[in-house]
Structure 1
Amino acid sequence: MDYKESLKYIEETHKFGIRLGLDNMAKLLELLGNPQDKLNVIHVAGTNGKGSTCSFITSMLKECGYKVGLYTSPYLETFTERIRINGENIPEEDVARIVTLIREKIEQMVSEGYSYPTEFEIVTTMAFYYYCEQNVDFVALEVGLGGRYDATNIIKKSDISVITSISLDHVGILGDTVAKIAYEKGGIIKENGIAVVYDQSDEAKNVIKDICKEKNAIYIEAKFDDVNIKKSDINSQIYDCTIMGQRYEDLEVQLIGEHQINNSILALSAIEILKELKHLNINEDDIRKGLINTRWPGRIEKLMDNPTFIIDGAHNEDGARSLAKAIEKNFKGKKGTLLIGMLEDKDIDGVLEILMPYFDKVITTTPDNDRAINCEVLKNKISKYIDNVVSIENIEDAVNYTLKNAKEEDVIISAGSLYMIGSVRTILNNLLVLN
């Protein structure tokens, strides 16, 4: 298969849906020589902040001279973003080569009576194989959904299990309380392992603590009590903090929102533990460079000035609250324009209730996903909050309409679904290049 054929093959497995369980992964990886067992993994689960935390970890380790794989999902603009080494996407020819090999093994396992692997299982297998082949020093591995039965949890061991902020999401699959969801996320913690946990609700923390006790794992909490934020605007943030007894001053990150400072502290806590655990050569200069050089597109990311145009992947209540905080801080008193598209299985009403007070105009559109809510249906929901709502089915038309009707001093925010904002990002960057 060439690259396009391999992508088509992967996409066609989407019909097998989501399957929580590890039997298929175990068989497929066994046929490939169990590459996952040869990797040093920092495994990251949680509801929000997984990708950012993985990116901070990867960037710091890269600055220290290590070769680091980063596995995330979904992608924003191109499939190869999901599998990276030191910031470089997997080459298209490697996707084609590895998927061709995986397809052969899948045919073998299906002939032995196993079920056909899902799309996520195939992509995760490809990542494991590629990282092993490329002999990376570490992999920052983002969980796809949940944790306990997620395809990434086929790994027998991890250097550290990292648990980010936990809130309600995917309630139909993971459970309808924070405690139930925390139980699924905490499923990545290994026997006699180490868990580094985001300081969050007691409901979530108590479940994680119980799992650690049961598995004889060390529980370490990343604390945010003594964080001193010296600067926070739409371009960067500077702060002081203490991590594992070490005081850091004037750390700077370019990711926006107070939650990103917390995510960076969680990542740095993991790095400090890894440093002791593996006797790594990590100095403060490398940490500083790693933090300031971390990029994570699509998360309160400013793409344009005059009008200000920001994209953000807020798609659940926790994400919406983080976005609302950033709007409150950076654009206080300004009413903005919201370009929004969402997936039907998200807490749409919860997100709207948080975001609507900050906008006096909304354009709804339909993400390119079979789970998307139609823009007209979304418009009707939003009409309960404000009168000025326009629905435009096609995302490119929606972006063009939004820009055409904006004044230079306006603030435009596009949010609601990563699937949509990836398209918005591509469209907007292409427009900027043309102009």
Structure 2
Amino acid sequence: MYLIGIKGIKYLLKLLGNPHNNYHTVHVGGTNGKGSTAAMINSILIKSGYKTGLFTSPYLEKFPERIKINNEEISRDEITSFIKKIIYKIEELSLTGFEKPTTFEIITTMCFDFFAKQNIDIGVMEVGLGGRFDATNVITPSVSVITPISFDHTNVLGNTIEEITYEKSGIIKKDGTTVVAPQNREADEMIQRICKDRSNNLYRVNEDIKFQLKGSSLSGTVFDVQGLENNYNDLKIKLIGEHQVINAAVAIGAIETLSMKGFHITKESIKTGLYETYWPGRMEIISKDPKILIDVAHNVHSMKILKNTIQNHMKYDNLILVLGVLRDKNYPKMVKEIVPIANTVITVEPDSNRALKVEDLVEEVKKYNCNCIIGKDIEKAIKKALEIANEKDLICFAGSIYLAGKVRSRILRK
């Protein structure tokens, strides 16, 4: 359905009274850091007193996480009520000649409808896949945001950075406003060209918005930002990793463009909102005895960031890496990036029908590390990692959100 376009969901929303037109929106696309950036913008807006909706995908542990208002998840009753209503609308849609909507289109429609029903002030919408033909791209946002672009979903978006950037840039609207993270040259040039063609006001981190890292540890990161309107000193976020400073600078840029358009947002709200941003599963330490780190790193770029963070900030005797990936990812390069720093690798299949078989993963892992154990089942992999870990070792679960979420649920529940 992705390649067909968004006419179907537009018609479906029309049948519901176009709920997505009832509030302001921020549209967040890109490859890496979309969720973290959206969470920061959401937190700042809530601290500023706005009733704020947040739509993200996929979920980490449970479905209702995807749709929140002021950080409160949509209820099961609301989901059930929407499903009963949408069944008849889907039948009506089918009679017009459109194909039945995809699961993601239905979920996105539910989000729009729920936000309108709850009379939110503004919704922060994370793109599901790509941008140009994504179901979220029916909105006319107050600001579009593009986080760092890298290779991912190449089977759908294209095999070059230029092709991927073109799809991601589909959320850039005519006469709109866009804030972008630092990009490689090809992506940056294309975004600038598209914004110029669409008379879109473009603000770029490292050009119009600048930041300076002042300190980083496992307890958080301290930095300064020179924004579009103000300077912000000694900002702190609790999310681990220097890359989160880029996400924060992008979030501040987006927030300041909202301020330019009449939103009342103070420097204190920005500072507090950033500090209180909570986004689980992203370089999250979920246990200290033994030390267990989970991360949703699922492509080469994010795996490189994970490797650098472990090497620069983690102290341990041995690294036990529990790795599970999806077969449609560039897993050979992901493995090459992360596996050499591990003392032991336990392979596992994420909870997804797109999971790469452990036998295929083991074959790739053994090119760089012969100390490889087949865990296959997530429960068994957790048990094995805990068995072989000493108190000064680090256990890291990575490779897919479908792995990180299951591990988080099982370990924290225990």
**TM-score (ref. length: structure 1):** 0.92
| Pairing 1:218-257 to 2, within 5 Å after superposition | 218-223=201-206, 227-244=211-228, 246-257=230-241
1:107 and 2:91 aligned: yes
The 2-side partners of 1:62 and 1:286 are apart by: 9
Task: Work out the number of aligned pairs and report it.
Answer: 413
Q: Secondary structure at the match of 2:136?
A: helix
**Cross-structure match for 2:289:** 306
| Pairing 1:120-139 to 2, within 5 Å after superposition | 120-139=104-123
- Of residues 301, 307, 326, the one that matches 1:343 is 326
CA shift at 1:376, angstroms? 2.1
CA shift at 1:245, angstroms? 5.0
The 2-side partners of 1:232 and 1:296 are apart by: 18
CA shift at 1:20, angstroms? 4.7
Q: Secondary structure at the match of 1:237?
A: strand
Letter in 2 for 1:309: I
The 1-side partners of 2:229 and 2:68 are apart by: 32
**Cross-structure match for 2:133:** 149
Letter in 1 for 2:249: I
**Cross-structure match for 1:352:** 335
The 2-side partners of 1:334 and 1:349 are apart by: 26
Q: CA separation of 1:187/1:18 partners in 2, compared to 1, >3 Å: closer, same or farther?
A: closer
- Of residues 3, 10, 14, the one that matches 1:30 is 14
Stretches of structure 1 that go unaligned for 5 or more consecutive residues are 1-16
- Of residues 32, 35, 40, the one that matches 1:51 is 35
The 2-side partners of 1:135 and 1:381 are apart by: 51
**Cross-structure match for 1:209:** 192
The 2-side partners of 1:144 and 1:326 are apart by: 26
CA shift at 1:377, angstroms? 1.7
The 2-side partners of 1:424 and 1:378 are apart by: 19
Letter in 1 for 2:195: C
Letter in 2 for 1:71: F
Query: Which is worse superposed, 254-263 or 331-340?
Result: 331-340
CA shift at 1:226, angstroms? 5.3
The 2-side partners of 1:84 and 1:341 are apart by: 29
CA offset digits 1:385-435 (Å, max 9, x no partner): 11111112211121111112111100111000001110000011012xxxx
The 2-side partners of 1:393 and 1:324 are apart by: 23
**TM-score (ref. length: structure 2):** 0.97
Q: Secondary structure at the match of 1:21?
A: coil
- Of residues 157, 167, 170, the one that matches 2:153 is 170
The 1-side partners of 2:49 and 2:230 are apart by: 22
Q: CA separation of 1:226/1:153 partners in 2, compared to 1, >3 Å: closer, same or farther?
A: closer
The 2-side partners of 1:205 and 1:20 are apart by: 27
| Pairing 1:49-88 to 2, within 5 Å after superposition | 49-88=33-72
Query: Which is worse superposed, 421-430 or 22-31?
Result: 22-31
**Cross-structure match for 1:5:** none
CA offset digits 1:27-80 (Å, max 9, x no partner): 211111111122211001100010000000000000011110000000011100
CA offset digits 1:355-400 (Å, max 9, x no partner): 1221010111111111100122211210111111111221112111
The 1-side partners of 2:110 and 2:249 are apart by: 30
Letter in 1 for 2:357: N
1:326 and 2:309 aligned: yes
Letter in 1 for 2:101: P
The 2-side partners of 1:334 and 1:168 are apart by: 33
1:39 and 2:23 aligned: yes
CA offset digits 1:183-219 (Å, max 9, x no partner): 1111101110001111121110111111111111111
Letter in 1 for 2:171: I
**Cross-structure match for 2:268:** 285
Letter in 1 for 2:216: S
Q: Secondary structure at the match of 1:151?
A: coil
The 2-side partners of 1:282 and 1:120 are apart by: 32
CA shift at 1:229, angstroms? 2.3
CA shift at 1:260, angstroms? 0.5
**Cross-structure match for 2:370:** 387
Q: Secondary structure at the match of 1:152?
A: coil
CA shift at 1:107, angstroms? 1.3
Letter in 2 for 1:238: V
- Of residues 345, 351, 366, the one that matches 1:368 is 351
The 2-side partners of 1:191 and 1:39 are apart by: 19
CA shift at 1:329, angstroms? 1.1
Letter in 1 for 2:155: G
CA shift at 1:18, angstroms? 5.0
Whether contact under 8 Å (1:335, 1:358) holds in the other structure is no
Whether contact under 8 Å (1:18, 1:118) holds in the other structure is no
CA offset digits 1:266-313 (Å, max 9, x no partner): 001110111111x22211221111001101111101101122101001
The 2-side partners of 1:421 and 1:248 are apart by: 33
CA offset digits 1:308-353 (Å, max 9, x no partner): 1010011111101111121121126854111111100001011111
Q: Secondary structure at the match of 2:312?
A: helix
The 2-side partners of 1:158 and 1:125 are apart by: 16
The 1-side partners of 2:93 and 2:142 are apart by: 30
**Cross-structure match for 2:169:** 186
Whether contact under 8 Å (2:229, 2:256) holds in the other structure is no
Letter in 1 for 2:54: L
**Cross-structure match for 1:14:** none
